[in-house]
Structure formats: C-alpha cells, structure tokens
Structure 1
Amino acid sequence: MIIINNETAFTVEDTLFVFALDSEAGKVFDHTNKITTGIGKVNAAIELTKAILKNKPKLIVNLGSAGGIGFHKGEIICCTQFIQRDMDARGLGFKKFETPLSNIPIILENGLKMDNLPEGICGSGDSFEMNHINTEYNVIDMEAYPLALIARRENIPFLCLKYISDDAGSDAADDWSVQVHLASEAFKKILFKDFI
C-alpha cells in the first residue's frame, strides 16, 4: 500500500509512477507500473496521457529530482501547488506566469498532502534553472506542472514528491549529477516503508 495520510491509501498495483529519467527511479520501482517521460513539459504531457489511456491508474505519483530554495539537499518535498515558470505573456497584458485565455489559475493547486513531509510550490519550465530569482516558487523542476494539470483534468488523484538535488544556483548542474542517483532510495523509504 502507498499510504498518503491517515485517511488515504492506494495499492501499488493501482498506482502509476511517473519519472522523467531512469536514473531518478533506479531499480527500486522496477516492480511497479512505471513510466519515464523524458525531460521537459511536452514529453511529460505526451507520455502521461498515453499511460493513462493504457493503464487507467487510480493514483498518479510523480517522483523526481528538483532544485530547492530554503530546503536541504536530499530532502523530500511534497508539492501541491504548481506554476508554469516559463510562461510569460506580459507583453500581451497578461500576468507573469499566466497562461493566456486558459482559465487556469497562475498557481495550479492539485495534489495530495503526504503526512510528515514539508510542502512546496513547484515551478516547472523547459530550462534548467541555475540563477533562481523568482520568489513565487521554491521547488524547481521541468515536468510536474503538466502532470498535475492532466491529473486534475482526468480527475485522478495526484501525488508529487521531489528530491532536492541542488539549490538552483551556479553549482546546480554539478550537484544534480551527483544527487540524482540517490533519489530512488529516498523515495523507497517514504513510499515502501512497509517493505523495508
């Protein structure tokens, strides 16, 4: 069972685990319904849509590495709010991060809260952020926003856990390349603690 909180749990068999890269999943998730989408929002959206049609999951769990501001390397953050950090149509009179004419709020709220984990606001974009200056989000990734949006539109419960690999600063690329391989074991301790 995947125990989210005192009131919510799902079987592993009914859960779809979504990673951007195999290196984030390691061997830990080989026994599960797992997909790797590739990097970026478009790849994530395409692969999740195909997997929903094929697997019809009762829970979608997005796991991956991320930059984090105000968190420590190796910490797991539960994201329940999402921003499309590279959406910028201010030149057309829209607000920063607002998707024009979409009726989607700037901060997309979707996601289950997992007991005993800190929460974060995830900014997703098609760039590897190394000079973080935005205060609107404190977790930085490249895939979670479209996954959260699709899960909401398909009315499938969504859990997003991010392993903090770097601080989105000047050393982010070097930090990420070391930390990404540690993510799967950290997720295992949280999600599969009954099997350890």
Structure 2
Amino acid sequence: MIICAGRNETFKFANAMGVGLIESAINLTKKCLEDKPEFIIFVGSAGSYGEHEIFDIVESKSASNIELSFLSNDSYTPLDKIAQSKNEMLRDDTIVNSSNYISTNEELCKKYNEYGVGIENMEFFSLVQVANEFNIPIAGVFIITNYTNENAHKDFIKNHKIAMEKLSEYLLNKNIIK
C-alpha cells in the first residue's frame, strides 16, 4: 500500500493519511484494522537539515521524534526517540525526524546531523510506530523541498509542484508505481 500525507500533498496512486503526527497515526491505524497491508510505502516531501540538496530523493526506514527543545537541553523524554521498520529492503538509511512543527532555526537544526538525523517530515515517525505495532514493514521515499531555515515555508511553496513531479517520476523509474 502506498500512502501520502494529504491536503496539498496527494497523489493518484496513494491513499492520504492526514497531515502531522496525530492525523496520520489515527488514519493509518484505521486502515490497518480494516484491511492490513503486507507492506507500506510512504511518499512525500521533506526539509533538509543541510546534508541533502533541494530535489534530492531520500529513502528511509528510520524515524525520530526529537524536538528542538531537546537539542538545546531544554527538555527530555522517557520515550524512545527513534523508531525503525523491520524492512530489510533498504540499505542506505537516513533518519527522518517528525514533529507537528516545521523547523526554521538553521543553526540549531545542524545539531540533528550529530544524531544521524538528516531530514524532517511531519508524519513519518508516527507512521513507522503504527506499522511496527501491526508488524508491517514500512519505507519512506522523500523529496527535499526546502532547508530548515527562515525561508522553509517560502521555499517549500516554491518547490512543491516540481518536487511532486520529480518524486512521481522517481517512483515510476523504480517500478514502485506504474
């Protein structure tokens, strides 16, 4: 099953699950209870913490939920910060950070790289958590639309349409979609 976030990020070939950690977790859980898929591929956009360029395609099976306040030593959590799929198909893996907020502090975001976290996408952490709960392998295929800086939203808007076309083309070339 191929899924995406929804709202302005939809594809004809993907089921929309909702934007952010909560909507996506609720809707994927419902979907898995109704008709459990054998494998899940999430497709969407992501912001780069600096190591990936605009329009790079990144595949992942690992997600984190590390808030900016953790990076500045202003918070802690007793919960696991990293979730990883049991998907054995991916070798190169970039950790995708998820939050209901888009990061815009470029200097602070560089610290994500110290934890092996390369990009951010609002949904992936919760989707990996749900997939793991149902013992379903999951992978994410992301295209970089912006850097995590003060221009994040403006660049996302500017690059989004082209990025969705490039992501669809990539999926066609990899025979993920037909």
Shorter-chain TM-score above 0.5: yes
Give the 4+ runs in structure 1 shifted more than 6 A: none
Identity fraction in percent = 23
Q: Which has the higher helix share?
A: 2
Q: How does 1:103-182 map to 2 (within 5 A)?
A: 104=80, 106-110=81-85, 111=87, 113-114=89-90, 119-132=93-106, 133=108, 134-135=111-112, 136=115, 137-182=117-162
8 A contact 2:6–2:18 mirrored in 1: yes
In 2, Cα distance between the equivalents of 1:121 and 1:63?
15
TM-score by length of 2: 0.79
Aligned to 1:18: 3
Matched-pair contact (CA < 8 Å) for 1:64–1:183: no
Residue in 2 that maps onto 1:4:
none
Q: Is the 8 A contact 2:60 2:90 kept in 1?
A: no
After TM superposition, the score normalised by the length of structure 1 is 0.73
RMSD of Structure 2 on Structure 1 (CA): 2.6
Q: How far apart are residue 23 of structure 1 and its match?
A: 3.2
Does the 8 Å contact 1:86/1:126 carry over to 2? Answer: no
Contact 2:47/2:144 (<8 A) preserved: yes
1:70 aligns with 2:51: yes
Cα distance between partner residues in 2 of 1:53 and 1:174: 38
For structure 1, the 5+ residue unaligned runs are: 1-14, 90-94
Distance 1:119 1:186, change over 3 A: farther
- The one-character-per-residue Cα deviations of 1:112-139 (angstroms, maximum 9, x if unpaired) are 5547xx6311110010111142322210
Counterpart residue identity of residue 6, structure 2: L
**Mind listing any 5+ residue stretches in structure 2 that lack a counterpart?**
none
Deviation at 1:88, TM superposition (A): 6.6
